[in-house]
Amino acid sequence: MTDQGMLACGCPSKYPSWNHEDVDIGAWLVHEQKAPMFLHMPIGYEAWLDRQHKDIKRLELNEKWPGFCLTRSALFRGKILCPLQEEHSLARNTYRLSNPYYLRVQVFNGDIGGIKDTVRSMQSSLLDEAKLPKELYLSYLTCPQCQGERGGNKIMLLRHWVESPKLKERLKKQKKT
């Protein structure tokens, strides 16, 4: 492990045990790092992670779980969010998440190419509960260097969702018929 509490490869040594849960991380302070993408594929992902960790250290802030971050891909510009321990900070690239900020969490064991079915089932279950799926975040818990010692390739899927009164009403109507 490094002095930051993460493994030497950069993976988190500890991460939240939120598997198969809905959690509210509303009003948490996070550090945001923009990351270039090409058709949802990160460009130089490890370099941007390293830059974020160095920025956080330079700003004298502390990661809640060193090495644990939430990555949101996009067509050309994604972002990496890192939860912080601090309650307040005026530093650049830090802000509070909206309150509430619900996440449905599931740990996926396997390669990134196989997450499609898990994401679909997660989305389906949210819709069945009248919860509208929003952004999808990924948190890579293992890398090719450490996956052998840590039980294989693990990716935490975090789906942001909001309650939807319209969807709830539609589901009530469907149940009546």
pLDDT in tens, 34-77: 999 988 788 888 899 999 999 999 999 999 999 999 999 988 88
pLDDT band of residue 4 (cuts 50, 70, 90) is low
pLDDT above 90 covers a percentage of the chain that reads: 70
Return mean pLDDT, the chain. Answer: 91
What CATH number was assigned to the domain covering residues 21-176? Answer: 3.20.80.10
Asked if 95 and 11 count as a contact pair (C-beta separation under 8 A), the reply is no
| Model pLDDT for residues 74-118, shown as the tens digit of each residue | 888 899 999 999 999 999 999 999 999 999 999 999 988 899 999
Q: What angle do CA 148, 152, 153 make, to 5 degrees?
A: 120
134 pLDDT more than 50:
yes
Please list, in sequence order, all residues whose beta carbon lies within 8 angstroms of the beta carbon of residue 76, skipping any fewer than 6 positions away: 36, 37, 38
Domain parsing of the chain, residue ranges: 21-176
16 pLDDT more than 90:
yes
